[in-house]
Amino acid sequence: MKKLISKLWARITALVLLCVFAAAFAASCFGILFLLENDAYSGKTDTLRDTLLDQDYENDMVTARNYAQTALGAQTNASKTDLSTFESLFSRENSNFYFQVKDDKTGKLLFESPNQADAHLYSTSEHVNLPVESGKTTSTLTFSSTEALNTYVNSQNTQYSTAVGEVLSQDENGSVTASVTVYQFADTNVVLTGYLRSPLTVKDKYYTLNNMAEWLFRWRWNFIAIAAASFAACLFLFIFLLCAAGHKEGVEGVHLSWLDRIPLDLYLLFLLLLCAAGLNAFPDFSYLFSGTNTVYAAVALSLACVLCVLLAMSVFMTFAARAKAGGWWKNTVVYKVLVLLGRFFRWLGRGVRYVFRNLPLCWKGALVWCGLCLVELIFMAACSGDTGRFAAWWLLGRVILTAAVVLTLIALRKLQKGGEALAKGDLRYQIDLRHLYGDLKAHGENLNSIAGGMQKAVDEQLRAERFKTELITNVSHDIKTPLTSIVNYVDLMKKEDLQPEKAKEYLAVLDRQSARLKKLTEDLVEASKASTGAMPVALGRTDLNVLLSQVAGEYDDRLRAAGLEPVLTLCPAMPAVLADGKLLWRVFDNLLGNICKYALPGTRVYLETRAESGKAVVSFKNVSKYALNISSSELMERFVRGDSSRSTEGSGLGLSIAQSLTQLQGGEFQLVIDGDLFKALVSFGALPPETT
């Protein structure tokens, strides 16, 4: 079952079967009700047969009355033609129906249809008034013309008389001698009795209806069984379709189709309008429930039931799918309208609260505005004849204008408070831009931007001051360390009787520390020149592959002594750049010097050149032996080292000098730190190839 509910063919089959069983149930229920109404379940067939025959029998009785009226009326040539039509209709070969007309008072047989029978299955009688000939008069008259004769004959044709004129002679002047017979009629109360032959020899409508009555009577109990079985099948298929609603083969969970996404109340309204239009356009089919039309009524009812089932199942299935998806009420027009109304009233409430909360900011302007409105009202009312209608329109307009004026005053007051805060030095103050529009909002954004820019400048100044303090501390520490060593060892040399070996050891320390102090001093001078741009730069066409190869060759021994394996990768199509070779050598020298000091022994150092996006890039990559828990921007500050314990002998100026020197040449210097991976990128704009 779980697999079937997601199959499209299973749902279509179930829906078709549901329509079939629903039609069978409707037809069975119609048959049961029809049989109950005609006492078929009490063992009687007469009432059932009479009901089926009634409408057609009544139609034939009306036809028989017309037939008798024509036959008993004036015996003109036209009426004789009509009689031949009736005689053909009621002949033994065409109909099982025949009739007799008798005088109601005397019982005299006045007229009967041809081919009377000896026995009848069914008969009814009715009293009617028919015009019967009561006499006639014949006279010979002379007329001036044939037209005059016709005019006279037509004047004698009334409801109770009919005239017939026969020309006897006509002279040369056009005079006509004619015999005119006038038939008189009188309404006579007669008894019209209709019969159905026994047996029914002609297979006409009565034959069919009689067989239908016998068939319905035989099947009266079967209809109950069919209705029960059809209802059970419909119930099972209904439950299956509800379970299958919202499922699609190959899709997990609930799947909503395009029909399920239509707002539910809009969909129901459409179906109701469709049903109403159908009922309004539906003709009166009450005549179907009699005679041979009973079968058509059952078929029509079954088709109507199928349509109702399809419409109802579309509603039930889409509701089941929406209910499974949850929140079915949210996909309704009513819910969305209520949500919009709720939002509108919440917006209105927030606006009212906003005005009353901020009214103290602009109460002076509000009072002035209200005063002006009052003066305007008094003046306009005095000049206007229709005060009531004018006051209503004036009030509506002033409510809208007052709201706009109050909001504008509040916005201006906000801007004023923001300017006052900035003037007092409160750089963190931000103007609330809600309910500010147009130029007022733009002005508020500008004030906030001013505050933000000033705050950024202050933060940069504080950051510079902090680094300046750190610079002084670091310089003091780095200069103090070699000076302390020099002073101490000089003092030792003064106090002790030094042996040559001991003196050499002290001298080595003095030499190393003095060299370090010299290097630090040189780095300070070079960093100062590079940062201020006071260093001369001689730009020229430079081949980065050649320069990097030379620097790598110079440092090959130092790198291997530090336990590092250099890996040099040069781009074959590396373009030349515009740079100062000496300064660029200094940049590469600083970077490789840092690598020798801070790279993890036993790892590789990758030196690479590449061309990308119109630039020539030189990349230095190594793994740090210290945890790089600081950002790349901090690492390039002066006197900042990856060795936070400052146990190495570096000055912390190498990266800062390298960055300044690169920028002096118009290049870009970038550091990338990913965990312990340290990567330095030096890039310059590529020059076009030289032409010969």
Residue pLDDT, tens place only, 618-627: 999 999 888 7
pLDDT at 136 over 50: yes
Question: How many Å is the maximal CA-CA distance in the chain?
Answer: 194
| Tens digit of each residue's pLDDT (9 = 90 or more) over 425-471 | 776 777 777 767 777 778 777 777 776 677 677 677 776 666 555 55
Query: Please, is 520 exposed, middle or buried when counting C-beta atoms within 10 Å of its C-beta (0-12, 13-18, 19+)?
Result: buried
Terminal-residue alpha carbon distance, the chain: 84
d(CA 485, CA 516): 11
Alpha carbon dihedral 110, 116, 122, 128, in 10-degree steps, equals -20
pLDDT digits (tens, 9 = 90+) for 238-271: 888 888 887 777 677 777 777 777 887 888 888 7
The yes-or-no verdict on residue 77 having pLDDT over 60 is: no
Enclosing H/E stretch for 111: strand 109-112
DSSP string, 391-448: HHHHHHHHHHHHHHHHHHHHHHHHHHHHHHHHHTT-TT-----TT--HHHHHHHHHHH
Strand partners, 579: 540
Of the candidates 255, 270, 261, 272, the one whose C-alpha atom is nearest the C-alpha of residue 332 is 261
Which comes out higher in pLDDT, residue 41 or 390?
41
pLDDT score of 287: 46
Is residue 361 very low, low, confident or very high in pLDDT (cuts 50, 70, 90)? low
pLDDT in tens, 47-57: 777 777 777 88
Least confident of 27-41, 67-81, 416-430: 67-81
List C-alpha distances in Å: 15 to 96, 177, 263, 271, 545: 46, 84, 23, 19, 79
What integer pLDDT is reported at residue 493 of this predicted model?
65
Q: From CA 639, how far away is CA 476, in angstroms rounded?
A: 11
Instruction: Tell me what pLDDT residue 477 has.
Output: 58
Rounded distance between C-alpha atoms, residue 447 and residue 414, angstroms: 11
In terms of C-beta density within 10 A (0-12 exposed, 13-18 middle, 19 or more buried), how is residue 579 classed? Answer: buried
* CB 565 within 8 Å of CB 599: no
pLDDT of 78 reads 41
Q: List, as own/partner pairs, every contact residues 513-518 make where C-beta atoms lie below 8 angstroms and the sequence separation is at least 24, other chains included.
A: 513/481, 513/482, 513/483, 513/485, 513/486, 514/482, 514/486, 516/482, 516/649, 517/479, 517/482, 517/483, 517/486
**Per residue in 382-413, pLDDT tens?**
665 555 555 666 666 666 676 666 677 677 77
Please state the separation of Cα 138 from the chain's center in Å. Answer: 92
Residue ranges of domains in the chain: 4-38+217-329, 54-205, 338-423, 536-685
The pLDDT, as a whole number, for residue 45 is 73
**pLDDT (mean) for 305-322:** 80
487 vs 681, higher pLDDT = 681
Model pLDDT for residues 148-202, shown as the tens digit of each residue:
888 888 887 776 777 788 888 888 787 888 888 887 777 778 898 988 888 888 8
Q: What is the pLDDT of residue 619?
A: 93
Whether 589 has a pLDDT exceeding 80, the answer reads yes
Spatial CA neighbour of 591 closest among 625, 570, 618, 561? 618
The DSSP line for 485-544 is: HHHHHHHHHHHS---HHHHHHHHHHHHHHHHHHHHHHHHHHHHHHHHHT-S----EEE-H
- Per-range mean pLDDT, top range of 2-11, 403-412, 503-512, 547-556: 547-556
* Long-range contacts of the stretch 365-373 (C-beta < 8 A, 24+): 365/405, 365/409, 366/405, 366/406, 366/409, 369/402, 369/405, 369/406, 370/402, 373/398, 373/402
293 versus 488: which is more confidently predicted? 488
Dist. CA 188–CA 250, nearest whole Å: 84
3-state secondary structure of 352: helix
Look up residue 687 and give its DSSP letter: P
pLDDT (0 to 100) of residue 634: 65
Name the average pLDDT for the chain. 76
Domain formed by 536-685, architecture: 2-Layer Sandwich (3.30)
pLDDT at 417: 75
Q: How confident is the model at residue 499 (pLDDT cuts 50, 70, 90)?
A: low
Q: Is the pLDDT of residue 131 over 90?
A: no
The answer to whether 39 touches 48, Cβ cutoff 8 Å, is yes
pLDDT at 249: 72
Give the span between the Cα atoms of 403 and 358, in whole angstroms.
13
What is the per-residue pLDDT for 691? 53
pLDDT for the residue numbered 288: 46
Tokens 């009812």 sit on residue: 301
